[in-house]
Structure 1
């Protein structure tokens, strides 16, 4: 079985700032991490690899510094890494990004299962995975908490309103993974990271994947972002101490002051 996992390097969400003049994210000097949803998807791929001997290839799109998340994935157990790095891809929205990733997947060649994180924490659109499936013309199952390979099929636990669905799908298929509430990402040991330095990584341009220049970057992006701005700062909460009776009286006093009760 050949598994491709699409991963993304994202800014640490707790330290993202917005340029007040341009309305764009300030990425310079901001620590970057492997998108947590993609991290979880990678771990699920590696679980399947441990059971079936599958080959796991990680694919990312971004600047040269995104090699860091490829190296992390290789240290965790992935077999090969591919980075799409080209100025022509800059400014791609989710549609153009999914097109470029689909073209890269076609160049990679044989695949049975494609795993993506549910969404990237710097965008929260959950559109790229489904977009890849559309461009490739393969089935997709989204918002899955677990996945298992069963011969020529996968069995997934899909999150839905009020519960879950257990679904089966024939290969090839694309699945997007969502994290359980208690998920804690795994990280490689020093020795695993050292050994991973010998694993293969490739860097491809838009030309290498035969991408149509009119379908990538800003030109190929139908979405136009008017502006990005942070939410207004919330005032700090006020802390009170005292006995249960004193705190209850204080709570009632505040509710009356705010006209919640009379």
Structure 2
């Protein structure tokens, strides 16, 4: 069984985000970029399925400009077998991404697609669900545990009331939550080897997809700086502060 894993290049989660002076978006000039953390978890889970003998091949795919190649190389260094780069300079939105991934899935015919539940740059949480609908495949979102048995994916999800276990027949789309696993680090020898591995290059036009953005960002602003709190010595003083200072009661 092939496992297809989409990965995205985003601003590293340890970097403090800065907004451009003109408010047109986030400043990514000279900023460290890395693989989306949820996608790292997806790659790790696919590799574990391969190591368990469930999967035969792990294919990673990313969409974006040529510099996106570095996250694909990272996935190859982790242990992925093949990488596909769908090259475009457009800022791809979730629907366009889902349409491209649909084309990749139809060409590769994987038995399972494991995707991060969201990207930490736009937090859309839409691509996995859209891809499932376009393919007509069952989906299981926010997986905190994944098992493959008898042609089905058994997924444990964290919900408000506790844990929910659902089963979906394969092929299926599964999106990953943070507690699914802890991704491995790519060793230096594997990183060097990954630099020499060939990448399959495609364009959105190969899948008949128009990546022109449908949404327009009017303005981007940083959140307001949080004001310092105050300490109170009694409940009566707390109530008084809520009345006179906060105007909440």
Alpha-carbon distance in 2 for matches of 1:254, 1:8:
50
More displaced stretch, 31-40 vs 224-233? 224-233
| CA apart distance, 1:114 | 0.2
- 1:242 is aligned to none
Which of 211, 219, 225 matches 2:208?
211
**1:241 equivalent in structure 2:** none
Match of 1:190 among 188, 191, 203: 188
Equivalent residue number for residue 86 of structure 1: 88
Q: Is the 8 A contact 2:44 2:182 kept in 1?
A: no
5+ residue gaps, structure 1: 239-246
Does the 8 Å contact 1:61/1:101 carry over to 2?
no
Alignment root-mean-square deviation, CA: 2.4
In the superposition, relative to structure 1, how do residues 190 and 85 fare at CA in structure 2: closer, same or farther (>3 Å)?
same
Query: Equivalents in 1 of 2:133, 2:232: separation in Å?
Result: 56
Aligned equivalents of 1:81 and 1:254: distance in 2?
62
Question: Residues 203 and 237 of structure 1: is their aligned pair in 2 closer, same or farther, counting only changes over 3 Å?
Answer: farther
CA distance in 2, matches of 1:97, 1:196: 25
Matches of residues 223-238 of structure 1 in structure 2 within 5 Å? 223-235=215-227
Distance 1:77 1:193, change over 3 A: same
4+ residue segments displaced more than 6 Å = 251-254
TM-score w.r.t. the length of structure 1 is: 0.83
Match of 2:247 in 1: none
Aligned residues: 242
